[in-house]
Amino acid sequence: MTRISQWNGQFSCFDLVARTQDNPGSVVRVGDIEIGGGELVVMAGPCAVESEFQVLETAEAVAEAGARILRGGAYKPRSSPYSFQGLGREGLKILAKARAVTGLAIVTEVMTPEDVPLIAEYADLMQVGTRSMENYALLDALGRCGRPVLLKRGMTATLTELLQSAQIIAAAGNPDIILCERGIRTFETATRNTLDIAAVPVLKTVSRLPVIVDPSHAAGVRRLVPTLARAAAVVDADGLLVEVHPCPERAMSDGNQSLNPIEFREMMDDLQPYLALRGRVRCARPERLHVAGVH
Ligand code: PEP
Ligand code: MN
């Protein structure tokens, strides 16, 4: 196995997630959706699952605008014990209903190893949040969960540490991992985090794993989200994770950075020429086959 790039040897110990001549790029399948196959896969939805009405309304809007995966936290890592903590199992059921109604796949966060089996029953893609990137017991459990994993970069983690966490999941038996750049903590305070856009080409050079960008948690304010999404499209990110709420002003978490459905549709339309510049398209839902006389 010859490595295509070792980046000064810095990443050379992550053999299970490394980019090699034999494996220059993995495609991770989430249901019938391929991530890492060249098309941009958009995952969108509320920060937190708040109610069935909120989730169904959002799911229908984002599916209509071209998203393929519905995001929404049922178990929320909140920095205050007094903030809304998520609906738990009831939230998972709401997400499953939204999948049944819209055909969208589901990505939702898991915070503890004990929750892995339950969440794996409902989720198509298991999300590891920035605060959990170094929860090694969780990563180990996700190695045996039977579902692909979306691994978000710790807000103070280097790319080496991100790949180390990916290697732990892979070493525990799960090769299906998607990396997510969601902004890191720097001295800048104008944005919630600093989007490390260079992380995308670095990771895609040294790792075989698909890389997506979360412009919402990087920006912290909604007006920056479409611009950061454009940047992700032109550096060949494999997908986007975007927060959308039917009424962001009333959101129980992360309303400031959530787009409303109209803004989300505008963002999706705005991305097209930037993708075209790179010879790419958005991953679209396959046309349903209509056979005459059969319904
Ligand atoms: C989220 O996706 O809502 C979330 C909590 O993200 P992060 O872990 O990146 O803060
Ligand atoms: Mn959020």
3-state secondary structure the chain: CCECCCCCCCCCCCCCCECECCCCCCCEEECCEEECCCCEEEEEECCECCCHHHHHHHHHHHHHHCCCEEECECCCCCCCCCCCCCCCHHHHHHHHHHHHHHCCEEEEECCCHHHHHHHHHHCCEEEECHHHCCCHHHHHHHCCCCCCEEEECCCCCCHHHHHHHHHHHHHCCCCCEEEEECCECCCCCCCCCECCCCHHHHHHHHECCCEEECHHHHHCCHHHHHHHHHHHHHCCCCEEEEEECCCHHHCCCCHHHCECHHHHHHHHHHHHHHHHHCCCCECCCCCCCCCCCCC
Residues 256-268 have pLDDT tens digits of 999 999 999 999 9
Which residue among 132, 153, 162, 217 is best mutated to probe the pocket of ligand 1, counting the most ligand atoms within 8 A of its Cβ?
A: 217
Domains of the chain, earliest start first = 5-182+191-277 (3.20.20.70)
pTM of the model: 0.95
**Ligand 1 contact, 152 CB (< 6 A):** yes
Would you state the pLDDT for residue 50? 98
Q: Which atom of ligand 1 is nearest to the CA of 48?
A: 3
The residue contributing the CA closest to ligand 1 atom 8 is 129
The residue contributing the CA closest to ligand 1 atom 10 is 130
**Ligand 1 contact, 47 CB (< 6 A):** yes
Residues 184-206 have pLDDT tens digits of 999 999 999 999 999 999 999 99
Which two structure tokens, joined as six digits, stand for 80?
Answer: 């205050």
Residues 154-187 have pLDDT tens digits of 999 999 999 999 999 999 999 999 999 999 999 9
> Which ligand lies nearest to the CA atom of residue 155 in the structure?
1
Are 101 and 56 in contact, with CB atoms under 8 Å apart?
Answer: yes
Mean pLDDT, the chain, rounded, equals 94
The residue contributing the CA closest to ligand 1 atom 1 is 47
Cα–ligand 2 centroid distance for 96 (angstroms): 20
Are 1 and 21 in contact, with CB atoms under 8 Å apart?
Answer: yes
Q: pLDDT grade, residue 290 (50/70/90)?
A: low
Cα–ligand 2 centroid distance for 146 (angstroms): 25
Would you state the pLDDT for residue 268? 98
Residues 84-124 have pLDDT tens digits of 999 999 999 999 999 999 999 999 999 999 999 999 999 99
The residue contributing the CA closest to ligand 1 atom 4 is 129
Cα–ligand 1 centroid distance for 22 (angstroms): 33
